[in-house]
Amino acid sequence: MKKIEAIIRKSKFDEVKDTLHETGIDFFSFWEVTGVGKARESRVYRGIAYDTSTIERVMLSIIVRDINLEKTVRAIIKASKTGEVGDGKIFVSNIEESYRIRTGEQGDESLYIKE
Amino acid sequence: MKKIEAIIRKSKFDEVKDTLHETGIDFFSFWEVTGVGKARESRVYRGIAYDTSTIERVMLSIIVRDINLEKTVRAIIKASKTGEVGDGKIFVSNIEESYRIRTGEQGDESLYIKE
Amino acid sequence: MKKIEAIIRKSKFDEVKDTLHETGIDFFSFWEVTGVGKARESRVYRGIAYDTSTIERVMLSIIVRDINLEKTVRAIIKASKTGEVGDGKIFVSNIEESYRIRTGEQGDESLYIKE
Amino acid sequence: MEETTTTLAGIPPELYNDLAISINNIWVLVAAFLVMFMQPGFAMVEAGFTRKKNTANILMKNLMDFSIGALIYWVIGYSIMYGDSIFGGLIGKPFLFFNSDGIGDYADKTDILFQTVFAATAATIVSGAMAERTKFQAYLIFSFFVTLIIYPISGHWTWGGGWLSELGFMDFAGSTIVHSVGAWVGLAGAITIGPRLGKYIKGKAVAIPGHNLAMGALGVFILWFGWFGFNAGSQLGAAGSENTVAIAHIALVTNLSAAGGAVAAMLFAAFRYKRPSLSLSLNGALAGLVAITAGADVIAPGGAVVIGLLAGALLVLSVEFFDQKLKIDDPVGAISVHGICGAFGTLLVGVFSVENGLLYGGGFTQLGIQAIGVLAIGAWAFFAGLLLFKILKATNTLRVSKRIEEEGLDVYEHGESVYN
Amino acid sequence: MEETTTTLAGIPPELYNDLAISINNIWVLVAAFLVMFMQPGFAMVEAGFTRKKNTANILMKNLMDFSIGALIYWVIGYSIMYGDSIFGGLIGKPFLFFNSDGIGDYADKTDILFQTVFAATAATIVSGAMAERTKFQAYLIFSFFVTLIIYPISGHWTWGGGWLSELGFMDFAGSTIVHSVGAWVGLAGAITIGPRLGKYIKGKAVAIPGHNLAMGALGVFILWFGWFGFNAGSQLGAAGSENTVAIAHIALVTNLSAAGGAVAAMLFAAFRYKRPSLSLSLNGALAGLVAITAGADVIAPGGAVVIGLLAGALLVLSVEFFDQKLKIDDPVGAISVHGICGAFGTLLVGVFSVENGLLYGGGFTQLGIQAIGVLAIGAWAFFAGLLLFKILKATNTLRVSKRIEEEGLDVYEHGESVYN
Amino acid sequence: MEETTTTLAGIPPELYNDLAISINNIWVLVAAFLVMFMQPGFAMVEAGFTRKKNTANILMKNLMDFSIGALIYWVIGYSIMYGDSIFGGLIGKPFLFFNSDGIGDYADKTDILFQTVFAATAATIVSGAMAERTKFQAYLIFSFFVTLIIYPISGHWTWGGGWLSELGFMDFAGSTIVHSVGAWVGLAGAITIGPRLGKYIKGKAVAIPGHNLAMGALGVFILWFGWFGFNAGSQLGAAGSENTVAIAHIALVTNLSAAGGAVAAMLFAAFRYKRPSLSLSLNGALAGLVAITAGADVIAPGGAVVIGLLAGALLVLSVEFFDQKLKIDDPVGAISVHGICGAFGTLLVGVFSVENGLLYGGGFTQLGIQAIGVLAIGAWAFFAGLLLFKILKATNTLRVSKRIEEEGLDVYEHGESVYN
Ligand SMILES: Nc1ncnc2c1ncn2[C@@H]1O[C@H](COP(=O)(O)OP(=O)(O)O)[C@@H](O)[C@H]1O
Ligand SMILES: Nc1ncnc2c1ncn2[C@@H]1O[C@H](COP(=O)(O)OP(=O)(O)O)[C@@H](O)[C@H]1O
Ligand SMILES: Nc1ncnc2c1ncn2[C@@H]1O[C@H](COP(=O)(O)OP(=O)(O)O)[C@@H](O)[C@H]1O
């Protein structure tokens, strides 16, 4: 199993979610993070203009079976790319074990509902 | 060292926390995430009924020594299981190094306070 | 590539950020988490005094090339240490692959902007 | 308010008048303050019912439509509305920079303040229907024109003594004259600008929940409170037994209709969508308030309850109809609350008025006149608004770019985020 | 208010009366508006002092208890309270659908509006004590009965001219008649429904902090503002020198007692729990307001400060006592604020009243009468409430299921979340 | 207000007076309630414009400065301000525990309530400038002294009939007497306590955005609403034609100046910083309100618009100047809004007063007197404040420790967090 962590634009979240569902990836978790990077937003607060390099983003955490890794990454890139600085990153790491709390199932089994 | 990431129901958090403490797991971090999965909540907003598959959940991140892995996973499953769809998942991955910022201690040492 | 996850005091965040920038680490993501540990804050709510072991903290997630691991960890420890209980932890794990969404670049390339 | 100028038998009129005027004056002033306080009510409702990323924009436009409205209406709008009729009652004779120290039933300056806060109410309603996608400049421009022309002209036809008032059109405190005018301009705007991105996907309406319904609830309670000034203040007097009974009556029926609206919307939504909905119940209270506004002086308490109940149910249907059938995207429900329920309440005066309503044996005459008024004013406001928004659209000052809409207007238009 | 019907020597009474009535009328109307505005005060306090997941539910029940209360009280409750005494002063003779255009010291319709907002205050207090675990239907049902029967009946005993008023019981603006009645019904409810899940673990009280104390603070300030209407409006007149002094006096002592309550609660909590607590200081201000309400007309400014200080300290002890000793779970402290401090303030009228209080040489008579009133009304409200809640419990319409309570009432009962 | 004691030709004066007094009395009372309601306005503005972690602290100090102020001012402060002049008009003769049932143009107790809420306004302004780093005790101590001494003494010089009032200094509702006094004490405090940690890094000002500008916006709207009581209530009468025109005039110009301030700040900020800023526009409205307060009775509507526009632009420059040039850290902009714009508005009375302003041919005399007043009061408030804060600093009761400031005052000083 692999964990895919994708840090994307907030405004692209709905597109990414829909694309993932179309790809058959129905399970994941996400939360809001703040990204520090080259993309900057300019703000003014009470007369002090400032550049902020911290931008609100969405972090997606998706654990997939190895065979789904490739297509999931492709789906995310496709849906979240604008071509402008600040599109975000995707990181892949290894997951050693997985459990479905409801049933106690382990491993790949726990990742999808067998029909 | 292993990292245990558990995505559980918000309403089960207190039980899980207490059970972890009983198990001797006193250190962890958690934050709120939104889960996408098979569990759905139905909502109505101003007359538009909609199913949301996005549900508020709590993500726990617990780094434990290898010997504690098993009992920690068992404790979480025990405390957070309701048997209904939406109970969540537990993922285990490998941690290569760990530091206690206060003392600079490294490795397993950094994970508990030796008495 | 390595992932560095640092859980630090909220009040130390600005110092850590600045130190990271000085060290040349310009990209990372962070979010607020709640930490459970030995550090406790005492609260009173409507006459019920209670100790909370849950404290607001900031989680930093930084993916770096292997060669930058050491200096990044050092920078974080330096900037976030107060010497009192509750300074936090740093965890290092392995990242197998990385993508820059904007360009599709992979691996180490995707982590910095080549000048 | 004749009773403030006539006096009781055998009593020196000057004395009576002097104090009667003082009483009228503080009544109308306090009412004006209450109506001004409706501004944060609108601000909270609109901000609460929309998304976090556009909150600064919405608060800003609320602050600005009130401020610009207050200035423009004082500079000239008031005179267009209340100046002597010219062109056969179509418009008032304009003059600039009102500064009269005269006294009628109360001070002239009390009058302009009271009328100003009404004008600003009309202006602020517009923007709710167009929230989350409109350029900030566009808000500034249409606030300017609404308080300069659109509202004063139809206002002149009625309260200004123009042709509709001569016809006998009854709209006591402005269900149509204030609320619907704002809503029909907003309708023109919502149609012209189109729905928010992501509101209709594959032809189906998508729910875009407001980011803070507690803020919305506070806003509705504030509006309810301010509405006592809106309606009972519109009696424009408090001295003498006639006024005494009238303002009490108006305040009572206002409260009953609001309560009816909230209860009906709650029950109707619970029945229709299986659950009692906070957002619709809040809108229901407003629907009851808007609907009773036209006839608060001539509708009995029982009639007010019925009108409130009907308006609350109508509101639910109307929101659904605009949102899901017509696919006109009105994030805060302004068109349904102020437009549909305003027109509905104005028509019902012809039915429930104890003076000449259908149910009280008055026949269809008044109902007909009410319909004429609703249509004439509706047409004026809608087409004037349409023209304005078409021009804004043609000059590309109406809608923000896709990128800005996606990322939120706050950061791009104002460089500020509300929550930090 | 006799002075509005008598006149100054040699002056035609009709003239005086006409304007005096107008003055009284606008005073009581403005006061009614202010008391209505206490509704968002309660809504913000209750929502702020409870958890995020139940916010829609709390806002909804505030909107609905006011709306239902306004309707029921108009339909019949008002007449049960103020109708001619029947059964020896136990209850007023009921009639339906109030619609009088009469004028007494002010318009009759002003009176029903003013009384309505008081009735709704009693109803809304109940729900605070039962927040976060009560079915929405249950709120609707008990709001109905509180404004239909429970509040009107004990109200008749006192303000309605019934047996307690004949005995000489003094409760000027309703420390007991309004606030305690709500609180004792709430006490019955809190006992019947039991504590929230997780409130008592191994017999120890657990802190469940409110989700937004800023909202709570806003609510308290709004209540403080509205309380000027509640107390000074209860003079039911403003014309003539007697009323002039009275309303000024009432407003002043109301403010002083509130200030005393806040300061005492802050100091006492700082002393007892080591830190000055915002949540308790806010409740302390309310405690001072509730406590002075009974004697605002007859207590000197110095007495008001003392009462406020005592109430503020008492509040802290009472919250602790109910929460930790009696283990009755009252999430917003309604029982302590409105019940205990209301009873306390009512009793202290017998001590601090400049007319006949113990400290002013009036002996124990008045104190005894106060005690009878507090007990009689308390017993009525508590047992009537208990009966009501036992029936609701028996029919399984009182408490939500464990699952719903855990996950939050908003999503399950209303299908809506407040924060998105 | 002479017209309440004189009467119209041939009419028995007792009758007229009795009702005229009643009218004055309810006017001033309602105004006092509105001014009291400015307290949550300040609380919301200050809490919204600062960081989450200090919100309980800010709400708490707002609650407490009002509560302590109300008590102290009643105990003795009022008499120091309004007692008979002693020491040649420097101070009023103090007495304790005000409790007069007398009636002048309105009830004496109405007067102390009205004056109390003004005193509390001055006290609450101070704390805004010192937010996010001041010990809670320090707030309690300086609230005590501001309402005990600092505000009453300069208040005596002017409204109390002391030397400045004899000189002819004009400050109708307190641009200088209330607002600037608070601001100059706050300036002394902000200088003494120093900037927040992280506010100036390498000599450059850092933006520390407020945590909830929606809360701030609500606060500004509440203040705008309350300001009608502040200014129009300061006429201290409503009966008779002179008062009738005056209060209408005052309310109108108050609204126009606020609108002007908001528009000017918005445009000026848009021009200067490229984007229309919500936070500055909100402050701009307040700037317009503060600036018109001194001359609300003698400035024509056109003059009020000009003053508002100038104040709005000045505000933007002033915030920048204090923040970036002088490096005085005033988190909510209190010094600029209340101090600079207050002084500016007071001076402009000498220019725009229709009675004796420069523009109306009155020459420089009044302007000179205004300058004397602004300077004298400014010097008094600043140096008295400086002394107070130096003592607090020396006794280490002024500033919280670095650790507490970093982690937030809420948890450490109050043991409570606002958002849970
Ligand atoms: N090495 C990294 N570790 C953690 N997060 C990162 C890293 N690099 C980028 N990110 C996240 O991705 C976001 C987008 O990166 P950015 O460099 O601005 O975009 P782009 O790759 O298009 O140039 C950042 O705001 C940050 O949240
Ligand atoms: N593969 C996954 N990757 C990331 N998060 C997941 C994954 N599968 C499940 N989750 C998280 O767990 C939650 C519960 O999963 P769900 O499938 O609804 O429950 P159950 O396993 O009981 O059927 C989801 O809402 C989601 O947050
Ligand atoms: N094993 C762990 N897994 C996850 N988070 C941890 C772990 N240990 C510590 N933390 C996080 O680090 C924070 C600080 O740890 P704590 O033990 O209080 O500090 P110290 O190491 O200085 O004694 C905790 O609040 C928690 O968020």
Rounded CA separation E257/E293 (Å): 9
Residue of chain D whose alpha carbon sits nearest to that of F6: D15
Give the per-residue pLDDT at D15.
66
Instruction: Please name which of F202, F50, F183, F190 lies closest in space to residue F121, comparing C-alpha atoms.
Output: F183
Residues A21-56: tens digit of each pLDDT: 888 888 889 999 988 876 666 777 777 777 666 678
Are F348 and F311 in contact by the 8 Å Cβ rule? The answer is no
E96 to D331, E72, E80, E92, E357: CA distances (angstroms)? 40, 10, 10, 12, 40
Rounded CA separation E398/E391 (Å): 9
Residue of chain B whose alpha carbon sits nearest to that of A99: B90
Give the per-residue pLDDT at B113.
62
Establish whether residue A113 lines the binding site of ligand 1, counting it when its CB lies within 6 angstroms of any ligand atom: no
Closest Cβ opposite residue C101 in set A90, A92, A94: A90
Residues in contact with F365: Cβ distance below 8 Å, sequence separation at least 6, in sequence order: F356
Closest Cβ opposite residue C44 in set F198, F403, F415: F415
Give contacts of A98 with chain B, Cβ < 8 Å.
89-92
Establish whether residue A85 lines the binding site of ligand 1, counting it when its CB lies within 6 angstroms of any ligand atom: yes
Q: For chain D, what is the mean pLDDT?
A: 93
Give the whole-number percent of chain D exceeding pLDDT 90.
86
Residue of chain C whose alpha carbon sits nearest to that of A30: C31
**Cβ under 8 Å to D: E residues 139-168:** none
Residues in contact with B21: Cβ distance below 8 Å, sequence separation at least 6, in sequence order: none
Give the per-residue pLDDT at F73.
97
Are D381 and D374 in contact by the 8 Å Cβ rule? The answer is no
Q: Give, using CA atoms, the residue closest to atom 25 of ligand 3.
A: C35
Which ligand 3 atom lies nearest to the CA of residue C39? 18
Give the per-residue pLDDT at A52.
67
Which ligand 1 atom lies nearest to the CA of residue A53? 25
Instruction: Give the ligand whose atoms come closest to the C-alpha of residue B61.
Output: 3
Q: Which residues of A touch F (CB under 8 A)?
A: 43-50
- What residue ranges do the domains of chain C occupy? 2-111
Residue of chain F whose alpha carbon sits nearest to that of C42: F415
Establish whether residue B63 lines the binding site of ligand 3, counting it when its CB lies within 6 angstroms of any ligand atom: yes
Instruction: Give the ligand whose atoms come closest to the C-alpha of residue C104.
Output: 1
Fold exhibited by the domain A2-111: Alpha-Beta Plaits (3.30.70)
Are F120 and F147 in contact by the 8 Å Cβ rule? The answer is yes
Q: Collect the ranges in chain F with pLDDT lower than 70.
A: 1-15
Rounded CA separation D383/D144 (Å): 17
Give the per-residue pLDDT at C40.
63
Q: How much is the average pLDDT of E9-18?
A: 62
Give contacts of C27 with chain A, Cβ < 8 Å.
36-38, 89
**Cβ under 8 Å to E: F residues 346-385:** none
Q: How confident is the model at residue D12 (pLDDT cuts 50, 70, 90)?
A: low
Q: For chain F, what is the mean pLDDT?
A: 93
- List chains touching F (3+ CB pairs under 8 A): A, C, D, E
CA B17–ligand 2 middle distance (angstroms): 20
Which ligand 2 atom lies nearest to the CA of residue A102? 22
Q: How confident is the model at residue D17 (pLDDT cuts 50, 70, 90)?
A: confident
Chain F nearest C-alpha distance from A19 (Å)? 34
Q: What are phi and psi of F354, to 5 degrees?
A: -70, -15
Residues C26-49: tens digit of each pLDDT: 888 999 998 887 666 677 777 777
Q: Give, using CA atoms, the residue closest to atom 20 of ligand 1.
A: A86
Q: How confident is the model at residue D14 (pLDDT cuts 50, 70, 90)?
A: low
- Is residue D52 less than 8 Å (CB to CB) from chain F? no
Of residues D408 and D291, the one with the higher pLDDT is D291
Q: How much is the average pLDDT of E393-420?
A: 90
Give the per-residue pLDDT at E278.
94
Residues D327-355: tens digit of each pLDDT: 999 999 999 999 999 999 999 999 999 99
Give the per-residue pLDDT at A43.
73
Interface A:E, ≥3 CB–CB pairs < 8 Å: no
Rg (CA), chain D: 21
Q: Which residues of D touch A (CB under 8 A)?
A: 198, 403, 406-407, 411, 415-417
Q: How confident is the model at residue A87 (pLDDT cuts 50, 70, 90)?
A: confident
Judge: B46–D323 Cβ closer than 8 Å, yes or no.
yes
Give contacts of C11 with chain F, Cβ < 8 Å.
403, 406-407
Chain B nearest C-alpha distance from D120 (Å)? 27
* pLDDT over threshold 80, residue E91: yes
Q: How confident is the model at residue C115 (pLDDT cuts 50, 70, 90)?
A: very low
Q: What are phi and psi of E197, to 5 degrees?
A: -55, 135
Which ligand 2 atom lies nearest to the CA of residue B89? 12
Give contacts of D413 with chain F, Cβ < 8 Å.
275-276
* pLDDT over threshold 60, residue D310: yes
Terminal C-alpha separation, chain B: 20
Best of A46, A48, A52, A53 to mutate (most F CBs within 10 Å, chain F):
A46
Range with the poorest average pLDDT among D386-400, E206-220, E402-416, F205-219: E402-416
Q: How much is the average pLDDT of C42-59?
A: 75
Instruction: Give the ligand whose atoms come closest to the C-alpha of residue B55.
Output: 2
Of residues E205 and A112, the one with the higher pLDDT is E205
Judge: F272–A47 Cβ closer than 8 Å, yes or no.
yes
**Cβ under 8 Å to E: F residues 4-43:** 12, 14-15, 18-19, 21-23, 25-26, 29-30, 32-33, 36-37, 39-40, 43
Are F367 and F358 in contact by the 8 Å Cβ rule? The answer is yes
Give the per-residue pLDDT at D371.
97
* pLDDT over threshold 80, residue C83: yes
Residues F11-29: tens digit of each pLDDT: 456 667 889 999 999 999 9
* Bridge partners of residue C43, in order along the sequence: C50
Chain F nearest C-alpha distance from E276 (Å)? 5
Instruction: Please name which of F366, F242, F354, F345 lies closest in space to residue F301, comparing C-alpha atoms.
Output: F354
Rounded CA separation C94/C3 (Å): 6
- Positive/negative CA dihedral, B21, B23, B25, B26: positive
Closest Cβ opposite residue B41 in set E198, E403, E411: E411
ipTM for this model: 0.92
* pLDDT over threshold 90, residue E318: yes
Instruction: Please name which of B63, A34, B101 lies closest in space to residue C90, comparing C-alpha atoms.
Output: B101
Give contacts of E26 with chain D, Cβ < 8 Å.
23, 26-27, 30, 238, 247
Give the per-residue pLDDT at E13.
61
Three-class SS state of A6 = strand
Rounded CA separation D45/D216 (Å): 4
Q: How confident is the model at residue C56 (pLDDT cuts 50, 70, 90)?
A: confident
Tally of CB atoms within 10 A around D13: 12
Tally of CB atoms within 10 A around F130: 29
* pLDDT over threshold 50, residue E373: yes
Q: Could you tell which of C28, C99, C103, C110 is best to mutate to test the pocket of ligand 1, judged by most ligand atoms within 8 Å of the CB?
A: C28
Give the whole-number percent of chain E exceeding pLDDT 90.
86
pTM: 0.93
Q: How much is the average pLDDT of B49-54?
A: 69
Half-sphere exposure of C14 (CA within 13 A, CB side): 10
Closest Cβ opposite residue D300 in set E23, E99, E419: E99
* pLDDT over threshold 70, residue E316: yes
Residues F233-248: tens digit of each pLDDT: 999 999 999 999 999 9
